[in-house]
Amino acid sequence: MKPHHDFTAERPLARHAQFAGKRAAPEADPTAAAQRLTERLASALPEVIGMLGGENAPEVRPLDPREGVMRELLSRGNGQCSHGLLVAEQGPSLLVSVDVAGAYQLVDMAFGGDGKLPDPLPEKLPLSAQIVTARIESEVAALVARIAGIASREQGAPPFVPLRRDSDIAALRPFAADRALWQASFEITFGGCDAWTLRLTVASEQVALLSPGDEDDTAPRARPSHAATSADPARSPFGDLPLTLCATLVDMRMPLARIAALKPGDVFPVSVARQVPLSIGERTIAHGTLGEIDDRVALQIIHAFSQEETRS
């Protein structure tokens, strides 16, 4: 499994985040700063992660922070992870590492499942799980920005911009091999589901920059109503998931001997169905009639999502 994505900022990074005046005091205690950051993250993460998995907030347990270099903190011993690197102007680079099992779990629960996963997991991370990992990365980065009091110069622009994502930390190379790093880890559990781990890694000398500031705003946000949090394919982040539709214009039987004898130039009559089925994979979701719009073939839906269609 090796999902690999390169992200290019739509605008110069210099327009995104303002770190002026946000500097660690010379006498600041790095250990105390790291402890405050871990505590604030642990208290706010249930709300942030819970919004992605449906109506229930998870239990979040902070693990002991670790310090070391990249090969020590981000080894394969952590299991299958998706690593996302986010950057900001004149500020820290954040590496958000999400257990692949957690991404699958959130996808399953978002569509009404119980979060119980098959063993082993699929080797290739599907697009739906990639969307979830990207959403976790952006939400965690936004949470860190609120904790640190980091504002964005441009209204609506995130302080941290996603740069790259990869499951192979050696290919991603988020930090220099010998750079001292600090890592906060959080064990996340939804009900009776298996626990998974979320990790945040930054350079050790930049931890104080992320310690809670005067503009810290991690109070729980108002959660939507029960109806809004139930499984809904139109809700973010899955509402933008592209699906392939297939309209079957001709469905006919032909003898194998005739098929084997097909050659360029052959002509044989076909009849277009009066009710053209529209399907996703093997599931028919609608029927329509064939027509024309602006010199292009078009399909006018006559009925959709009936019980007969969804059972076919």
Range 5-30 burial, b when 16+ CB lie within 10 A, else e: eeeeeeeeeeebbbbeebebeeeeee
Give me the residue spans of the domains in the chain: 4-239, 243-311
At 240-291, the pLDDT tens digits run 677 888 988 888 888 888 888 899 999 888 887 788 899 888 888 899 988 8
Contact (CB, 8 A) for 200 and 95: yes
Architecture of the domain delimited by 4-239: 3-Layer(aba) Sandwich (3.40)
306 or 175, which is more confident: 175
Q: pLDDT above 70 covers what percent of the chain?
A: 75
Q: How confident is the model at residue 181 (pLDDT cuts 50, 70, 90)?
A: very high
Contact (CB, 8 A) for 218 and 147: yes
Same fold, 4-239 and 243-311: no
Short-list 183, 185, 193, CA closest to 68: 183
At 25-34, the pLDDT tens digits run 444 567 888 8
Strands 81-87 and 94-99: antiparallel
Q: Is the pTM of this model over 0.85?
A: no
Q: How confident is the model at residue 23 (pLDDT cuts 50, 70, 90)?
A: very low
CATH number of 243-311: 2.30.330.10
Query: For the residues 84-111, what does the mean pLDDT come to?
Result: 86
